[in-house]
Structure 1
Amino acid sequence: MRVSARSRSTLFAGLATTALVLSGCDSNGSGSGDVTLGFVNGGDTSFHTCLQKAVEQTAKAENAKVYTANSHQNAGTETSNIEDMISRDVSALIVQTVNVDSLKGDIAKAKAAKVPIYLTSVSTSDVNDILGAAVVDLGKVGSLDAGWIAEDAGSGKVEVGIVAGAPGAASDLLVNGFKGALPTSAKVVADQPGMFNPAKAQDVAQNMIEAHPGLDYAFVANEEMAFAVRKAFDAAGHRNVKIVTVNGTDEGVAAVKSGAFSATVANSAKTIGDTAVKNAIALLDAKQGVDKIANIPLVLVTKDNLSAAPQYCPK
């Protein structure tokens, strides 16, 4: 299901119940006492894995208990997971949403049950409905990659391909930000979803390079897919296609260093998870000086500034 225009405008930035996977983590430490958090994750990429690790580790350090569930890119499962967390009477619910269209109803359910929601990656225009958010300006992420292409290409006419993620939420915001910042001399000749799945992305890339052998650049919505896209282009003899992507993992930064990727935008999953837990707890306690909407720093990583990439995943 795609994000509607109405839903997009409400953003600042990005299986049934039987399939629900929950884990409770008790912790030792000081700070938050009997706070219990629910974390509903949106998928299974390295970003989601690192985000959950950060949430769990930070909750433990803050002496909070956390239950986790994964929606596996399924909006219906997200609703079921949120309903389950509400039934557990958690103090607050942290959500990495699958799809913006379903988010409004989920927030309403949680609000009716007096369970505040803290969002990761995206926020809503009516922040009165949520406890807070750790926001990644996904449109800016896309625009940073587009800006690198604009500088690299100069005034020459170039062909650009896009390997998006899954329609809805993060991917649409990334792609729209990227397209909007491309120079007029850059023509998007292909735009297909890789579904945040490397095997799917590789198939998309193979078809793309066959249909557009003059391709100059490719924007790929995460590094896991970008490695598969690189493999497809290289196998087809198109090593000269320059790839820009998103995440800033250790592997991604190493690929920039080697030249496999030309640039990646680092938006640390560790920073998002740490911020979400700490700020959610602080906002529950009504502490002063805590931003309700926290903006996560972004870094365009190229060969010229490899050391500027923040730690992406907790150790």
Structure 2
Amino acid sequence: MRISVRSRRTALAAFAGGTLVLSGCGSSDNSGSSGEVTLGFVNGGDTEFHSCLQKAVEQTAKTENAKIFTANSHQNSTTELSNIEDMTSRSVSALIVQTVNVDALKGDIAKAKAANIPIYLTSVATSDVNDILGAAVVDLGKLGALDAGWIARDAGGKNVQVGVIAGAPGAASDLMVGGFTKALPSTAKVVANQPGMFNPVKAQDVAENMIQAHPDLQYAFVASEDMALAARKAFDAAGKKDVKIVTANGTDEGLAAVKDGRLSATVANSAMSIGQTAVKNAVGLLAKKKVDKIANIPLLLVTKDNLNKAPQYCPE
């Protein structure tokens, strides 16, 4: 399912700030003037997701014989546009963009269009796909619904209290939380919904306050595994080891926590798959090959019962 761009929403990223970081690697110093495929990757932030995504993009570019330039916008839309401008000055064949804020995409696309450089998006897609080369899309609403389904099955029709620790207000978090809450049964009441800002320290503080205000809490949906593990510490310290946590990512640490019971379920959303798909499909589309313009990244609800089926999250 394609995820449409909506105003006032941020893409899959943690809240962070910083300055431009630009690097380049590849098989030659030619930026594409002789026909070689050159890609510019503009990353959105500094979380584990972003670092794994970039590693996948860089490694896949090598296997596709494409030169790659990379930049990081550090969750700043102004920096993102500057990065886009820098990439267009390098005359790249196409831009791969993990946007920090979908509001920024309009300006990004306009700037790239003016330079006749197509954009390939990761995680989200624009409403009008004619504006882009393509996209590797994550159905974040479905991600939240998968976690809600686990709670529904585990609760077995009983009346239960559920807490939500969201990420940063914006597209990624809003879409996940929206999908989660809509899919919950009527017997599951959301008693608290607060942002953890994709920050484990903040998430632990939110969890501490949540369990104090709602001592009968039975389940928690947390928007990322690093926040979920911080929440686990807070619940355990409050003597609430029975609160069951569902989350998302599918990192090695997250899977280990599912295995030992600290987390009840996670939805695997492989950063490696997103990066690999983005590069391969961007190169294919540039070459007019028969590849999907909009590629949907598979999601898997992972529990103790199917840990061996979880996809690799980050390249080695």
The answer on 1:77 being equivalent to 2:79 is yes
Identify the residue that residue 68 of structure 2 maps to in structure 1.
Answer: 66
Identify the residue that residue 114 of structure 2 maps to in structure 1.
Answer: 112
Specify the SS of the correspondent of 1:281.
helix
Give me the identity figure in percent.
Answer: 77
Specify the SS of the correspondent of 2:120.
strand
Computed over aligned residues only, the root mean square deviation of the Cα atoms, in angstroms, reads 2.1
Within a 5 Å distance, the mapping from 1:1-315 to structure 2 comes to: 7-8=5-6, 19-27=19-27, 34-287=36-289, 289-315=290-316
Deviates more, 1:117-126 or 1:78-87: 78-87
Specify the SS of the correspondent of 1:304.
helix
Q: Please state how far the C-alpha of 1:74 moved relative to its aligned partner.
A: 2.1
Q: For the residues of structure 2 that align with 1:91 and 1:116, how far apart are their CA atoms? A: 8
Specify the SS of the correspondent of 2:84.
helix
Q: For the residues of structure 2 that align with 1:7 and 1:119, how far apart are their CA atoms? A: 11
**Residue by residue, what CA displacement relative to the aligned partner does 1:255-309 show, whole Å, maximum 9, x if unpaired?**
111000000000111111000001001101111x200001111110011111110
Q: For the residues of structure 2 that align with 1:122 and 1:297, how far apart are their CA atoms? A: 14
Q: For the residues of structure 2 that align with 1:164 and 1:73, how far apart are their CA atoms? A: 17
Specify the SS of the correspondent of 2:21.
coil
Q: For the residues of structure 2 that align with 1:269 and 1:41, how far apart are their CA atoms? A: 12
Question: Are the equivalent residues in 2 in contact too, given 1:98–1:169 (CA < 8 A)?
Answer: no
Question: Are the equivalent residues in 2 in contact too, given 1:98–1:168 (CA < 8 A)?
Answer: no
2:111 alignment partner AA:
K
Q: For the residues of structure 2 that align with 1:172 and 1:66, how far apart are their CA atoms? A: 32
Question: Are the equivalent residues in 2 in contact too, given 1:46–1:224 (CA < 8 A)?
Answer: no
2:21 alignment partner AA:
V
Question: Are the equivalent residues in 2 in contact too, given 1:42–1:98 (CA < 8 A)?
Answer: yes
Q: For the residues of structure 1 that align with 2:232 and 2:224, how far apart are their CA atoms? A: 12
Specify the SS of the correspondent of 2:295.
strand
Q: For the residues of structure 2 that align with 1:194 and 1:97, how far apart are their CA atoms? A: 20
Q: For the residues of structure 2 that align with 1:75 and 1:207, how far apart are their CA atoms? A: 32
Question: Are the equivalent residues in 2 in contact too, given 1:132–1:292 (CA < 8 A)?
Answer: yes
Question: Are the equivalent residues in 2 in contact too, given 1:248–1:264 (CA < 8 A)?
Answer: yes
Specify the SS of the correspondent of 1:94.
strand
**Residue by residue, what CA displacement relative to the aligned partner does 1:73-129 show, whole Å, maximum 9, x if unpaired?**
222222222222222221111111111122222212212221111001111121000
Deviates more, 1:248-257 or 1:18-27: 18-27
Q: For the residues of structure 2 that align with 1:27 and 1:220, how far apart are their CA atoms? A: 42
Specify the SS of the correspondent of 1:40.
strand
Specify the SS of the correspondent of 1:305.
helix
Q: For the residues of structure 1 that align with 2:195 and 2:67, how far apart are their CA atoms? A: 37
Q: For the residues of structure 2 that align with 1:180 and 1:86, how far apart are their CA atoms? A: 41
Aligned length: 303
**Residue by residue, what CA displacement relative to the aligned partner does 1:161-202 show, whole Å, maximum 9, x if unpaired?**
111111112111111111111111111111111111111111
Q: For the residues of structure 2 that align with 1:146 and 1:156, how far apart are their CA atoms? A: 14
Q: Please state how far the C-alpha of 1:7 moved relative to its aligned partner.
A: 4.3
1:144 alignment partner AA:
L
Normalised by the length of structure 1, the TM-score is 0.91
